[in-house]
Amino acid sequence: MNIFAGVARIVHVSDLHQQVDWGRRSFFSTGWRGAPGRFELHGMGRLARFEGVQARLEQLVEELHAHAADHLVVTGDVSALGHEDEVGQVEELLRPLLSAGRMTVIPGNHDRYTDTPAARVFERIFAPWLTSDLPELAVDGPYPFVRLVGDSVALVGLDSTRVSGWSHYFVGRLGQRQLDAARAALAHPRLVGRTAFILSHHGPVGPSGRFDWIHSGLLDAAALLDLVKEHPAVLLHGHSHERFWHRADHQRPHLIGAGSSTEKGREGYWVVEFDDHRALEAHAYMPGRKRAR
């Protein structure tokens, strides 16, 4: 690990929302599963907010290469609608970082919009990078997976998109089996002495510090908070396009929402530096590696 004076560094990005040329494609080309997502793109302005996202994504990846970080994390929504072309384009851009073992990626709800449980486009395309150092704990496909980074960090990747029907557009859920497996991972002897970073697309609270349906939407939010407060852990998540950090207190650990790293006018990411799960500092960066605060 690239540690100076005992301090480790994680770069946290999220909600990349790579999109293909949906303005030229028939509204019906994505089928019934994609219809609500297409309405969001065209009727609610998301297509315009992410116009030119390819160039911003390429700039972001260049900056990520330049950061002297121990690891880079992407907490979901790499795509606009979960289309194979979108997911594949992002994987290709991130592949040098992924293959070097410098990056971990989990899915978000947008990565499921046109997907099916049988196809699982995200898992198929990112399959080489969803491996675990504790594979015996996986209970839902590759999740949860555990990656041990250096001597002091563990990453626990979760999938909060485990909902069915139309609700997958609005809410998230981890499920009891995945939560139980994550608890077993945090208690595993190989994680002793490490700071665990829990990665979930949906966070348990929004910018206000309370649960809400727009910025959080995680149905088992209380269970996730109970899980992370029992262990030396930090929670990194996406979903909300607001960038916020709720500092640890006696009731919960550090909760860091990445915001969208590529939405026009909101671009950015977090650089998290820490000795352990309590001695932590986070700094928000804008494009050009300019510190926002």
39-77 tens-digit pLDDT = 788 888 888 899 999 999 999 999 999 998 999 999 999
Question: What's residue 12's pLDDT?
Answer: 98
**C-beta atoms surrounding 171 within 10 Å:** 16
Q: Tell me which range, 28-37, 160-169, 251-260, is most confidently predicted by mean pLDDT.
A: 251-260
Sorted by where each starts, the structural domains of the chain and their CATH numbers stand as: 8-17+52-291 (3.60.21.10)
- Residue 196 to residue 247: CA distance in whole angstroms: 16
Residue with tokens 């626990």: 156
- pLDDT tens digit string along 240-283? 999 999 999 888 889 999 999 999 999 999 999 988 777 899 99
Q: How many residues does the chain have?
A: 293
**DSSP conformation class of 29:** G
CA atoms within 13 A on the CB side of 107: 33
Reading the block at residue 115, the tokens are 């997907």
pLDDT of 1 strictly over 70: no
CA-CA-CA-CA torsion sign (218, 219, 222, 223):
negative
**DSSP conformation class of 168:** G
- Residue 64 to residue 57: CA distance in whole angstroms: 10
- Residue 181 to residue 60: CA distance in whole angstroms: 33
Question: What's residue 285's pLDDT?
Answer: 95
- Residue 198 to residue 190: CA distance in whole angstroms: 16
Average pLDDT, the chain: 90
Question: What's residue 166's pLDDT?
Answer: 60
